[in-house]
Structure 1
Amino acid sequence: MKKTDSERKSDVNVAGNEQFEIPEIIIPLSTDLNLKEDTFLINNLELLGKIWGFLKYHHPEIASGKYDWDNELFQFMPEYLKIKEIGQRDETLLNWIEKYGEISPCATCRETSAQAYLKPDFLWVEKGQMSIDLKKKIMEIYRNRYQGPGSHYIRMVRQIGNPEFLNEKSYPSTFLNTSCRLLALFRYWNIVQYFYPYKYLTEKNWDEVLKIYIPSFILSKTELDYQLSVLQLTSEINDTHAAHLQGAMKVDSLRGDMQAPFRVQFIENKLVVTYYYDSELKGMAGLEVGDFITHVNGKKIEYIIDSIKSYYPASNEEVRKMNLANDLVRSNSNTIHIDYNSSGIKKQKELTLYNRNSLDMRDKLDFFAGKKTSYDSILIENDSSFIGYITLKTIREHEIENIKKAFNHSKGIIIDIRNYPSTFVPFLLGTYFVSKDVPFAKFTLGEINNPGEFNFIPMENKIPKSKEPYKGILVVIVNEKTISQAEYTAMAFRAGDNTVILGSQTAGADGNVSYINLPGGLQTMFSGIGVYYPDGGETQRIGIVPDIKVKPTIKGIREGRDELLEKAIEIIKNDSKWNEIKRRQSKPMFFL
């Protein structure tokens, strides 16, 4: 068929040994979005995206992989975009659906369990402005939906249960193609719609998100525009696991190759210098540890944060600020102009930046930096007892029995999870702190045969009792760096007989991750299973709420102190303080 410039300009994409054409389409959407035609077009594309995704996971002929469903969308859109009125639209959609064959009655399709934690959401059908016949067709397909061990597009990871998304092409060469950009939006929205266990926790109503993002995906003019749109879209699920968008090289280039010679962190709501990557650079920079920056290139830090925070996916604001902090002193220029406060004195400086590859940007605020083991003893002055300290950052399985022997007679143990554990220890080490079997978590899993349904699995996760449980105090330190497996581990330790959690709000992203490939060679991820306390209490977005809330202070940073570690030691040393904590822990919602 002869192609017109407006409808059929194509890219040739290569996926493995397969070559196929991806039609480029011109969508007449105005930039101000105020025209009646704009509203009609956006509404039509929203409905197309929802029906396309519904069919992908429900229609027996499509979910089984008999059709290249991406390509079916590409071929259908030129005709669909010619539609001028709603009746014509609904008839066109019905004809499109019927093209894929009659739906046979399904003998194994069950109704959604009344006890389901989350149920499939079809409000978009029930309340949607579409014909009765189209609604009936959608629900007919749902009642007779695909049933099988796994569809062409998804399976659940064995022995874990998080979704694995299959046969999703990345189309690395077609980032400027409008068809592929819309495909990216449709694919991501529907994956979240049917397989994200925390969809109900998003700040925006997920049903509305697809419509909101159609303009930005259509109007993206460059690869950078597209990658920024994807970042904003993934931010809408409020999941710290989505923080890193792999393949977004244009975004990384925009943020800059040059970096301040020091790390900054938000402390007491100030952007504070916490340490230098190389102490030899301090003299030229001139800022002291504990100084805080108020402006960069004449703009207030608060203003900059407001302008960029939507590009930093996060479960909560604490972890968002942690993730963006050092990008505030990053640039493509060799210098940035900063206003800062040094011991109460306001100063300005043209700060020299350094190539990021030349800086050792690893975290240096580590009690155990450079030590050969993950554990050590802290002596208590004027006392014959001692405190054990363990960092999970470097812990190894073979050390656990040694730790138990070394710390069996200690007054208390501190476990530091301001990091990501190097070994999975909830059961290996967690059992040391319980005198009876204790449930500490339960999970929800999605259903391939009824997309959108999530149920608690029957078996709770339990810490098995120890033959010789630890008798002392356990203090677990957490903060915004505590994410995913680290949060799950903190939940396990919380089940201990004499445990207190100390620190600040964690990342709020628990559950094994699932990866999503998107056009343009991008890959993102989200929390793939729901993780809850045994009573159903939330962990997502909230994180592990500490019993004792302690945060670093600017004064403590200036003095080179680890205030959270100091507080943990104080609790173990002071018997009266520990007794007060135990008394308060027996009451609901204990905080100190």
Structure 2
Amino acid sequence: MLRTLLTSLTLALGLVASTASAAEPTNAPLPSREERLDRLARLWGQVRYRHPYLAYKDIDWDAALVAAIPRVEEAKDKAAYAAAVQDMLDVLRDPATRILRPDEQQESAQKTPAAPVRELRSWEAKDVLVLDLRAVKTPANLSTLRNKPEELSPDISKAKAVIVDLRARGVEDRTAWSMHEVIGNVIPLLLSQELQVPGERSVYHSGYRPQTRPTASGYSTSLLTTAGELISPKGDGKARPVIFLLDDKSYADPRILTMKALGMAQIITEGRLDDGAAVQQTQVELGAGLKAAVRLSELGMPMRADAVLPKRARSEGKDDTLQKALELARKPAKKAKTREFDLPPARWQADQKYEDMLYPKREYRLLALFRLWNVIQLFYPYKHLLDRDWDGALLTFLPKFDKAKDAAEYALAVAEMSALIQDGHTSLRGHPELEKRGLAGLPAPFELMEVEGKAVVVNIQDEAAAPGLARGQVVETIDGKPLAERLETLRPYVTASHSVHLRHKLLARALAGPEGSQATVGVRDATGQLKQVRFTRSLKSLQKPPQGEAWRMLGDNVGYVDLTRLQVSEVEAMFAKLKNTRALVLDMRGYPNGTAWAIAPYLNTRKARYAAVFERNVISAVSEEEANGRFKFFQELPKANVPLYNGRTVMLIDERAISQSEHSGLFFEAANGTTFIGSPSAGANGDITDLVLPGGISMIFTGHDVRHVDGRQLQRMGLRPQVFVRPTVAGIQSGKDEVLDKALEFLKASGSPAVAGDSFR
């Protein structure tokens, strides 16, 4: 909020944000071409996601970057580099967002000449009162203005005009902060009528708003306006000329600007002052001793002075600024006017996908890199769990995006970078080269799972689309080549939350392809026979309803519910049929149909209120991503007037349980302490969102950090089974369900339900 002069004090109070790392000396050498692009990307992202103009104005910020990239690369010296960046910023038409001059940087603030400090109260021309707020460096003056500002009232009442000196050149940081602190106590003594100060407006991102998907899950972008302030007069109420003296180091208080806008005060500046002096800003280090200031908020009032005088060249000598103020003080006070300070409303604008650019020009490939990096840097809630430092990914992937020689290499560069995210939700779609390589497109009409190191068929969605395929067969080849070779080819471009789920995703991607395409797998059955099975990929296969009952009775009065089949409309009937069972097996080895919300009220014997803890990144004017600005809430368990089920419940899980599957587990765990049996789930939960890139690419990623209700980590760990068991190849081939068998064995055992960390083998 304050200028560079106040940075050291106000950072602790959250009033100034800065993306700067260690400050560089002004004589630092010109960064390398790659380093300049790295810093340009960071600056571009700060403007894109935090500058208020981009939330409602028609500004082609992509085009500004595309135009700037070659000039930044070609810059041979500091001046050319600064000019290239400034030209990009000029597209905003915002004087508060610009390359800072050397004299505006903090290290030079104490070396600038300043007018001599006067007494707190002094008189000019007998009837003009000068209040020099720089005198607050004296403890007695500071105490007066903090605790007894009314002591100024007698002098103000005698004055025909009042000059308030707020010039900050050469003033120590602490004194400058104190001036800002006490001006609010002085202004009411100068008013002749109520002063309505407008609120300050800034961009507020609550998570990352999806670009192509329905806006849900609370992710939103808005313009947040703080409440305005109504200030009542506390003096004699007499209208008199009031002149504020500022300089290019001063903080232009919104209350002062409002007085000026309403004709209740005049402003004289010593050196030009833009409205960056009145709003929140952040600074971005560019190297070579250059910094850029970026506006983070707006007031809707222009920063206009009644007179602008040159900056002081020396401390001593005639005070021309004060003399100019005395000249204005002799003029009659202007009558206050009524004025509105309305700003245009926010207007959501999704990013351009540039779908026709399957092989984007070089500058647009770099735009893709910059956009992808910034979105994850600012909005990905699990960045702290990544194995590799995301901050360095910009420089690492710059050559890959820069030198991609065709559409395939470009798409693969995007895929490889996305693989750093280590999120089971992360996937790509929208580019034909991704489909050709199985990185997007439709899965096979059957499912593989790694069992004992082999790719085993565990489920067939559409037998007609894969004639001759049987459960328990081991896939060894794909289109005549070893499956292992295909998996290694895909490995750099596929990501997941942990190694087991990564293997599962790789198996799925190895079989994926475009709609209507065919492939041949070489499978070996239980007898050791190898045969070839040709299958067809189609959306129709995926939409085919699953076969079999959603629930049934097992032996020993135990009920079984297949949550991958059960529909919300069937929950009531299911509990009616199974209400007298002594236990339920909830099979969650796959994906559910939104039934957890209907099931949880039946299971909530603990009378639990909450099911999970949610957090999402918040990006705003006062919340730096590095400070982990988060919106946190506890998700309540759904309530319903239904009979409680008092039997025991176990939930079967493995790496096929992801997202809503895992969230169902959180519900049931909180409701009645459901026991998990099997192997860890996928470890990817938290309501997806997506970003878009040139070439029509859409990338999905997790937008919420979701935890167990007691705060335990779920992401990258999954639901952890209290009873660990994996199927075997022989068991699958013989038609056994060894995970279900272990659950039934567990339920027969005596004693209380297992708790987290128990092992029943």
TM bucket (normalised to shorter chain) is: 0.7 to 0.9
The residue aligned with 2:578 is 407
1:292 equivalenced with 2:474 (yes/no): yes
CA 1:171/1:401 → structure 2, altered by over 3 Å: closer, same or farther? Answer: same
Q: What is the CA–CA distance in structure 2 between the aligned matches of 1:268 and 1:559, rounded to whole Å? A: 15
Q: CA-to-partner distance for each residue in 1:164-192, whole Å, 9 max, x for gaps?
A: xx421111112222222211111111111
Q: CA deviation at 1:223?
A: 2.0
Asked if 1:485 is matched to 2:660, the reply is yes
| 1:213 aligned onto 2:393 | no
Q: Output the amino acid matched with 2:419.
A: S
Residue 353 of structure 1: aligned partner: 534
Instruction: Report the CA distance shift for 1:260/1:229 in structure 2 as closer, same or farther (over 3 A).
Output: same
Quote the Cα distance in structure 2 between the aligned partners of 1:62 and 1:398.
Answer: 45
Query: What SS does the aligned partner of 1:492 have?
Result: helix
Q: Does 1:198 align with 2:374?
A: no
Q: How far apart in 2 are the matches of 1:271 and 1:200?
A: 32
Task: Please tell me the residue identity of whatever aligns with 1:40.
Answer: S
The one-letter code matched in structure 1 to 2:733 is: R
Q: How far off its partner does 1:558 sit? A: 1.0
2:354 corresponds to which of 147, 167, 171: 171
Give yes or no for the alignment of 1:185 onto 2:369.
yes
Amino acid at match of 1:310: P
Equivalent residues of 2:479, 2:519 under 8 A apart: no
Give the 3 Å change call, closer, same or farther, for CA 312–496 of structure 1 in structure 2.
same
The alignment status of 1:437 with 2:608, answered yes or no, reads yes
| Residue 44 of structure 2: aligned partner | 52
Distance in 2 separating the partners of 1:49 and 1:326: 35
Deviation track 1:234-292 (CA, whole Å, cap 9, x = no partner) reads: 2221112122x22132222234999999753211111224466777899x97x875453
Say which of 398, 420, 430 aligns to 2:569.
398
Deviations 1:403-452 (A, max 9, x none): 33222210101112222222342355344342322433111122242362
Q: Relative to 1, partners in 2 of residues 1:391 and 1:174: Cα closer, same or farther, differing over 3 Å?
A: same
Report the counterpart of residue 521 of structure 1 in structure 2. 696
- Write the mapping of 1:306-317 to structure 2, written as runs, cut at 5 A: 306-317=488-499
Measured at CA, do residues 145 and 212 of structure 1 come closer, stay the same or move farther in structure 2, by a change above 3 Å?
Answer: farther
Question: What amino acid does structure 1 have at the position aligned with 2:362?
Answer: T
Any idea what SS the aligned residue of 1:442 has?
A: strand
Sequence identity (%) = 25
Q: 1:196 to 1:467 in 2, by over 3 A?
A: same
Q: 1:568 to 1:360 in 2, by over 3 A?
A: same
Contact 1:260 1:352 in 2 (8 A): no
- Superposition TM-score, scaled by structure 1 size: 0.73
Question: In 1, Cα distance between the equivalents of 2:564 and 2:445?
Answer: 24
Aligned residue type for 1:103: A
Paired residue type of 1:130: G
For residues 740 and 72 of structure 2, what CA distance do their matches in structure 1 show?
62
Q: Which residue of 1 aligns with 2:555?
A: 379
For 1:510 and 1:42, the matched residues in 2 are separated by 36
> 8 Å contact 1:336–1:353 — kept in the other structure?
yes
Q: Bigger CA drift: 324-333 or 464-473? A: 324-333
What is the aligned partner in structure 2 of residue 253 from structure 1? 436
Distance 1:409 1:236 in 2: 49
Listed one character per residue, the Cα deviations across residues 10-66 of structure 1 (whole Å, up to 9, x for unaligned) are xxxxxxxxxxxxxxxxxxxxxxxxxxxxx9332222221111111112233345434
Task: Name the count of aligned residue pairs.
Answer: 502
* Contact kept in structure 2, 1:430 and 1:492, CA below 8 Å: no
- Greater alpha carbon shift after TM alignment, 389-398 vs 411-420: 389-398
Q: Report the CA distance shift for 1:565/1:193 in structure 2 as closer, same or farther (over 3 A).
A: same
Query: Aligned in 2, Cα 1:258/1:232: closer, same or farther, shift over 3 Å?
Result: closer
Q: Distance in 2 between matches of 1:306 and 1:363?
A: 31
Assess, with a 3 A threshold, how the Cα gap between structure 1 residues 153 and 566 changes in structure 2: closer, same or farther: farther
Distance 1:485 1:51, change over 3 A: same
Q: 1:562 to 1:492 in 2, by over 3 A?
A: same
C-alpha contact 1:258 1:334 (8 A) present in aligned 2 = no
Determine if contact 2:382/2:705 at 8 Å carries over to the other structure.
Answer: yes
Matched residue SS, 2:402: helix
Structure 1 pair 99/396, CA: closer, same or farther in 2 (3 Å)? closer
Cα separation, 2, equivalents of 1:442 and 1:482: 19
Q: Give the drift of 1:546.
A: 1.7
Q: Secondary structure at the match of 2:672?
A: coil
Instruction: Give TM-score scaled by structure 2 length.
Output: 0.58
Which residue is equivalent to 1:503? 678
Partners of 2:658 and 2:684 within 8 A in 1:
yes
- Structure with higher Rg: it is 2
Name the amino acid aligned to 1:505.
Answer: P
Q: Is the 8 A contact 1:434 1:463 kept in 2?
A: no
For the pair 1:130 / 2:287, whether they are aligned, the reply is: yes
